[in-house]
Structure 1
């Protein structure tokens, strides 16, 4: 077995009696083409599209380049349906849901829009531009929902994106296109802040976790914000590990998303009978391990299959370092209570990821195989290694007699779930 690392891979040499299992999706790829899958999903909400009228202005929200969705395939098919309703290209705008990410280049716009590039207007959301933000109201937990003016003033708002696991919102896609996708910086931060329990020192809400929607405070804040935006419908894809569209869901912004989440949970959650003494996890290679913030997702999912005090070997090249210039600064805080207090005083989304990293580094023995320096890895509470073999040699002295290991070749896509 080979495990991906950046653009290369490491051979995994383990005695067979040590292997408790390989965590991979139980998924048969559909025989239908992505275009057929998209067309069938759009057929499901044709009754909604039939209510669109000539002269109406339509805004379609879609994800930025950091989240591949298959947009270059589905956006042209969606616009074709709108054209049939008498809505010309000039009355359609694509709004890129950047959240707090950087603006996109022209080349990135072209990759997102595919054949539509140059036909319909494309705009990047700017979370810091008060002139183009409109306050819609407040959520039940006090978040002021301020979103992009174009989305508010459109006659019809369509949300598109991709469904996958999210480490504290439960799942991506659906309502996330509104908040954080096209929300103000303050709303983005506040929605993510809901991951913490209300009282200082009470830590992270255990329901704000991967694969959980019920009673998840982050998810519910996003639901309230999305309801205020009043989308006409959503279109969300589900992708295979090699980024092929294998399913699509269209219709009511909440129920269609929930149906997609159920499909994703069924095919990308992996039942394990018991937690292992060691988990070896690869992010799946480049670009999934391009930086540590991206790699953290694999670390989070792998932790679900690991005994307290167990050993995790994380293969994450991190050729672009941490992925954010302020991320590493958070590790000046070595105690979780001190870290949490600093996070509550000055919340940053990347600070939340750093906090989650330190939680796992202190709960488990984590060996990180990466390009990061020894000093950087040790400052994050982990142990550095330069190869999988070196990491295995280090782990051997930390494991109990009779130890067993679970292996995750695509750690950022599969969620282990204990029976």
Structure 2
């Protein structure tokens, strides 16, 4: 049998014998919006836990709309035009509307890439579009610490706007439970000190900092506290299927509207699987998520619940932009130098994480369960920085794993971290 795994802007084939016991783990077919534009316009007028946007924005002089950066396949070309038009209709001047790319600690999105992210030429021509810079101290407002001590410093363009709207894609997230909503604010437009505090060792090591988990998740708790510090916000959320088609949109008060989207997508993205496997094959979800090895780690953690102790996690990722940031490369070098135990001991001593080392810590979760085998030929010499085993042929790697374990039962997750296998039941 042939299975196509998401890989870059296409797929990579996996050929397995028909005699093997292969479990392909995918979402059930999701309902696709027949009229996506109409759906967005409808929820803007019939929000969850808030007034219609035309009423919320009446009398406002400024508005700030947050959008995700290029690592997320958000259909901003669908979401932004109705938002901007409604704000203009409410009387907000065009020069008072800012679209802010919620980069967190990622690099800025510029030129053609920025046009791709925004997705609509009229929006680019009509309103200001800018990037968030987490290292710019003066660009943030200090709102004081949360009850658990996280310093809350948020981009002043968002905090000081009369109307604050976060847009985002709701999907499983391996630390915060689910993406979208409050996550677009923090880490999206948070200062380095905020991000590195609630991404430190203690947060990452918490067992509830996991895919599809909100209750008891310390990152989610801090994100909600940060929303309160900001003074609340509105949110427009979208859920897409495996073909990147919009399936539902929600709008309204940021927490309530986000939970409504989570309730929808959970029924599809969290898939019950009755057993564990010695061989699990997955992807890093294709473009744009698999542009870097940094984002590939999400695919390694996604199927962890169904990987047998000592099993093989085989993952395919395009990695067209290489490893990721210089800070992340440094974290990976420390992992190679100190080993798993030494690396964890070092970061456990700190209240603030070094930038991007949390991704290395999450990779270690899977390394402690089994062996990670990576198919990413475009990484070249950088493969030595991953700390995992490189495989030159995806199908051959799966055959070798089956021979090694003497078990022809194989699990395959073609969509990578957008589908989360849950052992024995729903998340």
Give the TM-score taking structure 2 as reference length: 0.89
Provide the residue aligned with 1:255 in structure 2.
256
Hey, what's the Cα distance between the residues in 1 that align with 2:266 and 2:64?
Answer: 30
Provide the residue aligned with 1:200 in structure 2.
none
Provide the residue aligned with 1:367 in structure 2.
373
Distance 1:379 1:74, change over 3 A: closer
Hey, what's the Cα distance between the residues in 1 that align with 2:398 and 2:324?
Answer: 27
Structure 1 position 87, deviation (Å): 2.1
Distance 1:14 1:418, change over 3 A: same
Hey, what's the Cα distance between the residues in 2 that align with 1:219 and 1:82?
Answer: 29
Structure 1 position 270, deviation (Å): 1.1
Stretch moving more, 24-33 or 138-147: 24-33
Provide the residue aligned with 2:396 in structure 1.
390
1:47 pairs with 2:48: no
Structure 1 position 171, deviation (Å): 0.9
| Contact 1:2 1:9 (C-alpha < 8 Å) held by counterparts | no
Hey, what's the Cα distance between the residues in 2 that align with 1:317 and 1:86?
Answer: 45
Hey, what's the Cα distance between the residues in 2 that align with 1:374 and 1:148?
Answer: 37
Describe how 1:18-417 pairs up with structure 2 within 5 A: 18-45=20-47, 47-49=51-53, 50-113=55-118, 114=120, 115-193=122-200, 196=202, 204-326=205-327, 327=329, 328-344=332-348, 345=350, 347-371=353-377, 377=383, 380-400=386-406, 402-417=407-422
Distance 1:325 1:127, change over 3 A: closer
| Contact 1:295 1:412 (C-alpha < 8 Å) held by counterparts | no
Q: Map Cα deviations across residues 341-363 of structure 1 (whole Å, 9 max, x no partner).
A: 22234723421211222332232
| Contact 1:302 1:415 (C-alpha < 8 Å) held by counterparts | yes
| Contact 2:299 2:417 (C-alpha < 8 Å) held by counterparts | yes
Structure 1 position 111, deviation (Å): 3.0
SS at match of 2:224: helix
- Runs of 5+ consecutive residues of structure 1 not aligned to the other structure: 198-202
Structure 1 position 296, deviation (Å): 1.2
| Contact 1:61 1:97 (C-alpha < 8 Å) held by counterparts | yes
| Contact 2:166 2:235 (C-alpha < 8 Å) held by counterparts | yes
- Runs of 5+ consecutive residues of structure 2 not aligned to the other structure: none
Distance 1:11 1:81, change over 3 A: closer
Distance 1:155 1:302, change over 3 A: same
Structure 1 position 83, deviation (Å): 2.1
Give the TM-score taking structure 1 as reference length: 0.91
Q: Map Cα deviations across residues 62-84 of structure 1 (whole Å, 9 max, x no partner).
A: 22222232112211101222222
Hey, what's the Cα distance between the residues in 1 that align with 2:395 and 2:4?
Answer: 12
Structure 1 position 397, deviation (Å): 3.5
| Contact 1:311 1:398 (C-alpha < 8 Å) held by counterparts | no
Distance 1:224 1:377, change over 3 A: same
Stretch moving more, 172-181 or 348-357: 348-357
Hey, what's the Cα distance between the residues in 1 that align with 2:394 and 2:106?
Answer: 33
| Contact 1:48 1:232 (C-alpha < 8 Å) held by counterparts | no
Structure 1 position 295, deviation (Å): 1.5
Question: What is the total number of aligned residue pairs between the two structures?
Answer: 412
RMSD after superposition: 2.3
| Contact 1:285 1:316 (C-alpha < 8 Å) held by counterparts | yes
SS at match of 1:214: coil
SS at match of 2:15: coil
Hey, what's the Cα distance between the residues in 2 that align with 1:352 and 1:99?
Answer: 14
Hey, what's the Cα distance between the residues in 2 that align with 1:121 and 1:111?
Answer: 15
Hey, what's the Cα distance between the residues in 2 that align with 1:249 and 1:19?
Answer: 39
